[in-house]
Amino acid sequence: MKKGLVTQSTGKWYKVAVNGKIFDCRLRGKLRLREEEVTNPVAVGDWVDIEIAEDGTGSIVEIHERKNYIPRQATHGRRGEQVLAANIDRAWVVLSIRQPRLKTGFIDRFLVICEAYEVSPSIIINKTDLANDKDRGFMDELRELYSKLGYSIRLTSINIPESLKELQNELKENISVFIGPSGVGKTSLLNAIDPDLNLTVGEISDYSNKGKHTTTFARLIELREGGYIVDTPGIRELGLVNIEPYELSLFYPEMHEYRQDCKFYNCTHSHEPGCRVAEAFEEGKIHPERYNSYLNILKSLEEQ
């Protein structure tokens, strides 16, 4: 029996690193039974115990307890959740200001997931060299909004090398993950931070102005300057799982102060009388973008 770190997941097979050596492994039958609850019982970043067969392949026989993980609702009509990465020190949501255009709703869903699953989140707005004056004003507003809430936000471009230095330093000594839609430049950022990686970069579709998938499976990458990064496939939607509508406000830091003074303990802060959160919004103490984002996410949870 050997203990190893899952560095890549391609569906039925996993790559597991044990003392610098990589083993191709499959999941032991009893662990596959978990697939009713989660589409991938083993995720990149998991520590596992494996048994090695005579042909050099391995079987994952035990999954160690996680300190945290990042899930989303399973896609393509499947039930349960999909784990994007496990045992993460820091998660970065990566969005581009243009090509494809940034959507704040994606940021807020990402932040809710990180708050709910005890992962430290940060924000990257990429391709800033494409920004016009209106975009730059928008980025300044976003930086002010999220910084006040306690979230760090980085503005980056592979064509502005100095914009990458702070990010490069923050990736050292950590296991981090990049999460975002296709085409926002996650892989290009990694190549710029560590040219030795030479990862394949995708293109933007002229028809839809959306990215085409380049990374097709999650993988753990070691960076030359130190640290590890989980590069994930592009994600169009971040569906929340295991969060009840009345719990959502727990994961909006600006609502903490007010929610405890609501008339009803299970207040959803959308229509109930005596709602202190709604009053705080009317008083200008909660940003309109965030409150509207909250209501949109709440609606999606109620429809589930």
Q: Write the CA distances from 284 to 130, 211, 290, integer angstroms.
A: 32, 37, 12
Q: What is the CATH number of the domain that holds 289?
A: 1.10.40.50
pTM, rounded to two decimals:
0.90
pLDDT of residue 78: 65
Residues 271 and 203 occupy one common structural domain? no
What would the two tokens of residue 268 be?
């959803």
Q: Return the pLDDT at 32.
A: 58
Residue 27 CA to residue 61 CA, distance in Å, equals: 7
**Who's near 209: CB < 8 A, 6+ residues apart?**
99, 100, 101
In the chain, the percentage of residues whose pLDDT exceeds 70 is 91
Residues 48, 89: one domain? no
- pLDDT given for residue 31 in this prediction: 67
Tokens representing 155? 């503005």
Q: Is residue 91 domain-shared with residue 197, that is, in the same domain?
A: yes
Q: Judge if 47 and 141 occupy the same domain.
A: no
Domain count, the chain: 3
> Looking at residue 204, what is its pLDDT?
41
Q: DSSP assignment of 119-184, as one string?
A: --EEEEEE-GGG--HHHHHHHHHHHHHHHHTT-EEEE--TT-THHHHHHHHHHTTSEEEEE--TTS
The 3-class SS string of 173-211 reads CCEEEEECCCCCCHHHHHHHHCHHHCCCCCCECCCCCCE
Structure tokens at 129: 């060299």
CA neighbours closer than 13 Å in the CB half-sphere of residue 58: 24
Does some domain include residue 240? Answer: no
- Domain span including residue 7: 2-65
* pLDDT score recorded for residue 278: 97
CA distance from start to end of the chain: 42
CATH number at residue 17: 2.40.50.140
pLDDT, position 206: 38
Could you tell me if residue 237 is inside a domain?
A: no
Q: What CATH number should be reported for the domain holding residue 208?
A: 3.40.50.300
Low-confidence residues of the chain: pLDDT under 50: 203-214
222 in the same domain as 101: yes
CA 175 to chain centre: 13
Closest CA to 218 of 68, 58, 86, 106: 86
Q: What angle do CA 136, 140, 145 make, to 5 degrees?
A: 145
Q: Kindly state whether residues 25 and 105 are assigned to the same domain.
A: no
- pLDDT per residue as tens digits for the range 260-269: 999 999 999 9
Q: 29-75: per-residue pLDDT in tens?
A: 766 555 556 778 899 999 999 999 999 999 999 999 999 999 998 77
CA distance 181 to 224: 25
For residue 239, tell me if it sits in a domain. no
179 CB-contact burial (10 Å; exposed 0-12 / middle 13-18 / buried 19+): buried
Would you tell me how many other CB atoms lie within 10 Å of the CB of residue 69?
A: 20
Q: How far apart are CA 155 and CA 169, in angstroms?
A: 14
* Cα(56)–Cα(35) distance, integer angstroms: 26
Structure tokens at 52: 């090695």
